[in-house]
């Protein structure tokens, strides 16, 4: 059977048959296609010549009847800044309705009562749906590090005659039905260069190949029992592999080994809206109550504009500590910083504000428009056509070290200190009794603390130090300046610590560390100071390893970075101890 046969059979199962011309109008297919489908259904004993269903036809309908639905609602919705800091996308109001509530009602209108919602970010905000609609909530505790392939894998054993859909979509027409006969996936007639699927003349979905342009993927699907079983197997197989952690569930659905035919359900441009950004919501419904957010109101107030003048909002790459987005007001662009998960425990915003006050007028940092010591919000002017330092480019690294040294030579002062060993203990305390993931942590920590007396005895200056002077925080501007941004951890310290921080964030090997030290100390570096920087590398390695362990408990993983920091602690502690034993620094 092909899709025309299926759709004619479905129509005959739901409406009384009059004649094939009316059947053509009902299905939207040409009279010729309907006539051919009708003949095929009669020949294969699915219908009688009067259009009524045979026992085989009725069994076909019953076998594929929809049983349940899974709504995927666990993700951050990072592109939905700034709304995503306050509300999951699925709970946005559009044209007087909450997105996920509209989807649930559409499912229930089609007779689907067994509805499971996979939640994660701000999961508590979905709890009311249990009482209001009788749905089931499943918690994806790995929502911060895995995409919705993992969310669907949590329900793999339920994928049998199942609707699968995201929570953040607005569908004009109800795509769900009491009768389904084949597996399908909802696409738009709009083309999309990033899509991996296209619709052929038989309305089948095929993978795009050789730079073919695909159809925009909408994310709604129906899977029959057989396809659901195959999908479940693929989901569980991929979910167990790290390389698929960031993939959407469609990667499993359209996997090349998917044996069954997947048909396309095609919607017009105005029939389905996936709401990914603040401006898409504003375009769809400029009266939505969720357009009025604390952050948008703050921007409007500080820049003395109407909220509608805040445009071209786009999320920037999520940093280790914060979420930030870019926006334009009139002819100028700005960056809004929003503190990330657990940031209140890590950053003293009062101290950060003090640092920016001291830096004012020195043209060292980014240009601050607004900073909130209470909430950590920050608005800065965007430095157009700037680029961060490439740690593999020795010329750029040398320029950054010269900039860093000139900053240190200002000998700026603030009333607070960044104490390395205090921070190591503090980050460890945030684990709340959980053991380290590293088996030899206690031994490693003991070796790091053995360096404390040494570091305190070695000569050092004491001034405002960036602490987080890493390549990503050096900006080369179009005017030829270098700006050093993100001063959240800054405080009084030995400025040579900044050299160590640059090295370990860049994941430098020993030879590169030596080149970095030489770039900072153009006049030459004594073995005593060099050993001190090695000690700082070891101490800072454990510091940021502990920091990463805390973030991991919040669901945020840093992969190789975390492992390498711990290795720096162990390897450079050993290097320093060897120098002490051999008295190389004398």
**What is the per-residue DSSP string for 177-190?**
-S---S-EEEEEEE
Quote the CA–CA distance of 307 and 298 in Å, as a whole number. Answer: 9
Per-residue pLDDT at 192: 86
Residue 530 φ then ψ, to 5°: -60, -40
What confidence tens digit (pLDDT) does each residue in 271-316 have?
887 776 766 677 676 666 666 677 888 988 999 998 888 888 877 7
Residues 23 and 17 sit within 8 Å (Cβ to Cβ) = yes
Supply the pTM of this predicted model.
Answer: 0.66
C-alpha 32, offset from chain centre: 49
Q: What is the assigned CATH class of domain 68-274?
A: alpha beta
Can you give the pLDDT at residue 86? 65
CB 419 within 8 A of CB 476: no
Average pLDDT over residues 459-465: 93
How far apart are the C-alpha atoms of 330 and 512, rounded to whole Å?
44
- Which residue has better confidence, 506 or 195? 506
Cis peptide before 82 (omega within 30 of 0): yes
| Neighbour-count burial for 339-352, b at 16+ CB within 10 Å, e otherwise | bbbbbeebbbbebb
* Extents of the domains making up the chain: 3-63, 68-274, 293-382, 386-582
Mean of the pLDDT values across residues 28-55?
Answer: 93
**Structure confidence at residue 240 as a pLDDT band (50, 70, 90):** confident
585 neighbors 464 (Cβ within 8 angstroms) = no
CATH superfamily, region 386-582: Aminoglycoside phosphotransferase (APH), C-terminal lobe (3.90.1200.10)
On the question of pLDDT at 542 being above 90, the answer is yes
Assigned CATH for 293-382 = 3.30.200.20
Dihedral sign of CA atoms 510, 512, 516, 517 in order: positive
* Alpha-helical regions (H) of 506-559: 510-520, 527-553
pLDDT of residue 77: 60
d(CA 296, CA 300): 6
pLDDT digits (tens, 9 = 90+) for 327-358: 899 999 999 888 765 566 678 889 999 999 99
Give the pLDDT score at 338: 80
Fold of the domain built from segment(s) 3-63: Arc Repressor Mutant, subunit A (1.10.10)
Q: Nearest CA to 90 among 77, 78, 107? A: 77
Name the DSSP class of 410. T
Flag the least confident range among 127-136, 199-208, 488-497. Answer: 199-208
């Amino acid at each position: 059977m092909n899709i025309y046969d299926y759709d004619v059979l479905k129509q005959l199962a739901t409406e009384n048959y009059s004649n094939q011309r009316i059947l053509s109008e009902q299905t939207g297919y040409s009279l010729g296609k309907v006539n051919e489908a009708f003949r095929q259904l009669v020949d294969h004993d699915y219908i009688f010549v009067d259009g009524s269903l045979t026992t085989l036809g009725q069994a076909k309908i019953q076998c594929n009847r929809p049983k349940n639905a899974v709504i995927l609602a666990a993700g951050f919705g990072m592109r939905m800044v700034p709304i995503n800091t306050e509300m999951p996308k699925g709970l946005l109001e559009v044209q007087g309705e909450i997105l996920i509530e509209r989807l649930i009602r559409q499912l229930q209108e089609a007779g689907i009562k067994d509805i499971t919602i996979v939640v994660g970010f701000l999961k508590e905000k979905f709890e009311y749906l249990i009482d209001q609609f009788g749905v089931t909530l499943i918690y994806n505790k790995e929502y911060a590090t895995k995409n919705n392939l993992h969310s669907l894998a949590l329900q793999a054993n339920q994928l049998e005659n199942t609707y699968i859909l995201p929570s953040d979509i607005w569908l004009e027409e109800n795509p769900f039905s009491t009768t389904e006969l084949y597996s399908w996936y909802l696409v738009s007639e709009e083309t999309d260069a990033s899509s991996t699927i296209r619709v052929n003349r038989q309305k089948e979905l095929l993978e795009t190949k050789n730079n073919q342009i695909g159809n925009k993927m909408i994310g709604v699907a129906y899977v029959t029992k057989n396809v659901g079983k195959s999908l479940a197997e693929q989901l569980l197989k991929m979910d167990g592999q790290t390389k698929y952690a960031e993939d959407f569930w469609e990667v499993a659905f359209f996997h090349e080994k998917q044996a069954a035919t997947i048909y396309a359900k095609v919607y017009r441009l105005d029939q389905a809206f996936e709401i990914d950004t603040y401006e898409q919501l504003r375009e769809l419904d400029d009266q939505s109550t969720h357009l009025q957010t604390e952050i948008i109101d703050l921007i409007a107030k500080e820049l003395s504009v109407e909220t509608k003048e805040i445009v071209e909002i786009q999320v920037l790459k999520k940093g280790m500590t914060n979420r930030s987005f870019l926006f334009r007001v009139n002819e100028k662009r700005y960056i809004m910083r929003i503190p990330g998960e657990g940031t209140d425990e890590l950053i003293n915003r009062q101290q950060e504000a003090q640092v920016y006050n001291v830096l004012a007028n020195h043209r060292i940092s980014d240009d601050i428009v607004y900073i909130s010591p209470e909430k950590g919000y920050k608005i800065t002017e965007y430095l157009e056509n700037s680029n961060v330092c490439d740690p593999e480019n020795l010329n750029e690294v040398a320029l950054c070290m010269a900039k860093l040294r000139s900053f240190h030579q200002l000998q700026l002062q603030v009333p607070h200190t960044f104490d390395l060993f205090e921070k190591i203990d503090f980050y460890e305390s945030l684990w709340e009794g959980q053991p380290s993931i590293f088996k030899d942590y206690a031994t490693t920590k003991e070796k790091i603390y053995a360096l404390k007396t040494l570091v305190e005895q070695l000569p050092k200056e004491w001034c405002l130090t960036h602490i987080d002077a890493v390549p990503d925080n050096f900006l080369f501007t179009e005017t030829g300046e270098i700006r050093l941004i993100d001063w959240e951890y800054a405080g009084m310290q030995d400025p040579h610590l900044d050299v160590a921080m640059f090295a370990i964030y860049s994941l430098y090997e020993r030879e590169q560390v030596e080149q970095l030290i030489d770039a900072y100390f153009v006049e030459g570096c004594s073995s005593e100071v060099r050993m001190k920087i090695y000690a700082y590398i070891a101490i800072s390695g454990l510091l940021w390893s502990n920091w990463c362990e805390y973030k991991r408990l919040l669901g945020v993983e840093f992969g190789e970075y975390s492992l390498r920091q711990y290795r720096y602690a162990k390897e450079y502690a050993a290097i320093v101890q060897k120098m002490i034993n051999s008295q190389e620094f004398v």
